[in-house]
């Protein structure tokens, strides 16, 4: 007769194996779009109709209005794409769930201060998560294709979600500096967020604020 200790060990081992297999499967599904992560030099949008739109994902803004290093580099990269005529419009999408915190406005202000024309800036005030930004890009802003601008570690999830929502997207990594120890935390968080994204797409969809359609012209 199997001892209780041995039974618990077998059960624990089975759970660990099942968890590892699950992570492996989700990783393979999400990272299948990694080949679409490009450098600015590799980006070739020949054949894309205009306007060509870059989506910049929000990140932390400090209480004094300063952009966090991650967000500042995303904005710098978007400006470079715009100034090189690789994109015509920039959709900034971030968290504005309270009156005292407004990522999209800070992102828009940055673009205006770097000679991006106001008519070329599109603001999404309800992109509170990567899932929401991607879904709203499709359902609200009617995008069929886009250039995603964020850090390398974040792009696989952003590309996965965009393609699940039928956006023909490519990604440009916005890593313009070393981020130090903070990047380790971001990578660990991203691993969990990747699992959540897969579950959101395939098992349970979180509530998303949609609303009136705004076609980018």
Evaluate whether 78 touches 54 at the Cβ level (below 8 Å).
yes
Question: Which residue in this structure is represented by tokens 């910049």?
Answer: 56
Architecture in CATH of 4-202:
3-Layer(aba) Sandwich (3.40)
Question: Which pLDDT value is given to residue 14?
Answer: 62
Task: Give tens-digit pLDDT for 126-176.
Answer: 999 999 999 999 999 999 999 999 999 999 999 999 999 999 999 999 999
Task: Give tens-digit pLDDT for 174-185.
Answer: 999 888 766 677
């Amino acid at each position: 007769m199997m001892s209780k200790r041995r039974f618990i060990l077998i059960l624990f081992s089975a759970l660990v194996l099942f968890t590892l297999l699950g992570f492996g499967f989700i990783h393979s599904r999400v990272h299948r779009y990694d080949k679409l992560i490009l450098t600015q030099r590799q980006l070739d949008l020949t054949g894309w109709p205009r306007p060509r739109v870059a989506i910049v994902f929000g990140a932390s803004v400090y209480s004094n209005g300063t952009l966090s290093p991650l967000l500042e580099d995303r904005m710098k990269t978007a400006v470079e794409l715009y100034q090189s005529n690789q994109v015509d419009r920039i959709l900034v999408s971030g968290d504005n769930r309270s009156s005292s915190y407004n990522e999209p406005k800070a992102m828009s202000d940055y673009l205006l201060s770097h000679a991006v024309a106001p008519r070329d800036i599109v603001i999404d005030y309800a992109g509170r998560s990567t899932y929401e930004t991607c879904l709203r890009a499709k359902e609200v802003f009617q995008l069929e294709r886009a250039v995603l601008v964020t850090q390398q570690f974040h792009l696989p999830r952003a590309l996965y979600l965009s393609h699940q929502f039928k956006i023909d997207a490519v990604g440009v990594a916005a890593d313009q500096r070393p981020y130090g120890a903070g990047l380790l935390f971001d990578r660990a968080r991203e691993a969990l967020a990747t699992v959540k994204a897969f579950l959101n797409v395939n098992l349970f969809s979180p509530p998303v604020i949609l609303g009136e359609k705004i076609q980018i012209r």
